[in-house]
A and B are shown apart, each in its own frame.
Chain A
Amino acid sequence: MDFQVIVNNFAFLIAQGFFGIGTFTGGTLRLALPAIILGFLLGTLVGLARLSRRRWLNLPATIYVEFFRGVPLVMVIFWFWFIVPALVGKSAPEYVVALTAFVVFEAAYLAEIVRAGIQSVPRGQVEAATATGLTNSKTMRHVILPQALRNMIPALVTQFIVLLKDTSLASIIGYVDLTKAAQIVNNREIRPFELYLFIALVYWLCSYSMSRYARRLESRLASR
């Protein structure tokens, strides 16, 4: 065991692999952050559509959610690797492929969180808003969504942890995230034990600290 390899390649692993600062378009965070934001926007639309009483809205949304939750993420990434270039007409960079795949995939899970969040708002709120003369869309925008969003925050943090771990799978199409960075270093140095243990610790640190934070948020919400 020789952890010198970590010290020598620390800058590459963390700056390039984790943050995405360097020669490659890569980085775990550079993929995870836009993916959660865009995924949440798409997920909100899908979640609202699922709650709609109009069948032409809620049926496609239900199929969307059930489909993506029934298929492995690896499969979805390969689909986008094949579809995105076919649609664009030329080969697309790994970043674009990975980001699209993650946004579309995560939106299915985030839609369920949004739906549960909206359903957790007491019915009386809707009735009160309607009684004051607000239209349906105004009720949604000004009364339900703000309260739902607050209830959703712990689940959103948890989903972000899942997403952060899942971005490691982008390495299979060659996207240089933390996992791929470790592979690159390993190909040169042949120190798999030290390198994979090190990145495991990096992932662990992020995800464990965030899960503690999510738990704190949850208990704070519960005591309100």
Chain B
Amino acid sequence: MNYRFDWSVLWSGQSGGWLLQGLLTTLEIATLGWLLAVALGVLSGALRTVPLALLRWLATGYVEFFRNVPLLVWMFFWYFGAPPMLPEIAREWLFDHGAEFWAAVFALGVYHGARFSEVIRAGIQSIPKTQLEAALSTGLTIVQAYRLIILPIALRLIIPPATNETLNLIKNSSVALTIGVAELTFQTRQIETYTAKAFEALAAGTVIYLMLCLTIATLMARIERRVAIPGMIAQGGAP
């Protein structure tokens, strides 16, 4: 095998800036997708615990429908399938403002929102009922009890699984290349196509993903230790 290594394609010449551009786009769609996912996750996760059957049913329907279909299919659906159903004006606006970018953000957010929902529900349900009862007996209202007691505990308990989901979201943002979003994996493919340096391009992309995941995991572990409730986290962690 006479493959000639040339790592300089990663930082010089025509393809020099592509990796950085790709990383920035990955961070953009992952961040926007994450915000949408957390919003949907908290909303539907909380709704699944309320005593109104209709709301519970709606939230459960959302979660079960979206997380049981591959993300790639959602990407195709939101990018190719949904826009033709929109009114003319909305469609034109969308295709003037990077439709593939917003389809990717939407697909990531809605898909991972369903998965975050499970994490948040499990977090709320893992807190013993006595906590709520104790809080109410001290004279707090139910909203105060949720805001001051239940949610602060739940949010700390879910840090490990929520971190896991965040990393999944970042890794899954690579699926956006299928609808033409120029994120990190797309750019490594681009470098490969233009320079025929497949090994270098793939290695660079892989290392960037690993570093990104490692950084976030380390950061979250530090936050988890910082906010840990003594005697609580050890028994409340994921099974």
Contact = CB atoms under 8 A, between A and B. Distances in A.
Interface of A: 67, 70-75, 78-79, 82, 86, 161, 165-166, 168-169, 171-172, 179, 182-183, 186, 192-197, 199-200, 203-204, 207-208, 211
Interface of B: 1, 3, 64-65, 68-74, 76-77, 80-82, 84-85, 167, 171-175, 177-178, 185, 188-189, 192, 198-199, 202, 205-206, 209-210, 213-214
A71 B209 contact: yes
6 contacts: A71-B209, A75-B185, A78-B189, A165-B69, A186-B80, A203-B68
The 7 closest A-B pairs by CB, nearest first: A192-B80, A72-B174, A165-B70, A168-B70, A72-B171, A193-B81, A207-B68
A73 B171 CA distance: 8
B64 to A, nearest CB: 6
A72 B81 contact: no
A70 B202 contact: no
Contacts of A203: 68-70, 73
A127 B74 CA distance: 51
Contacts of B210: 67, 70-71
Contacts of B68: 161, 165, 203-204, 207-208, 211
Contacts of A78: 185, 188-189, 202
A186 B175 CA distance: 20
Q: Is the interface of A mostly helix, strand, loop or mixed?
A: helix
Contacts of A165: 68-71
Contact of B72 (A171, A204, A211): A171
Contacts of B81: 192-197
Contacts of A194: 81
B206 A193 contact: no
Contact of B202 (A75, A169, A172): A75
B73 A200 contact: yes
Given A67-B210, A70-B210, A204-B68, A193 B85 contact: yes
Contacts of A196: 73, 76-77, 80-81
Contacts of A193: 77, 80-82, 84-85
A161 to B, nearest CB: 8
A183 B81 CA distance: 11
B72 A168 contact: yes
Given A171-B72, A207-B69, A71 B85 contact: no
B14 to A, nearest CB: 21
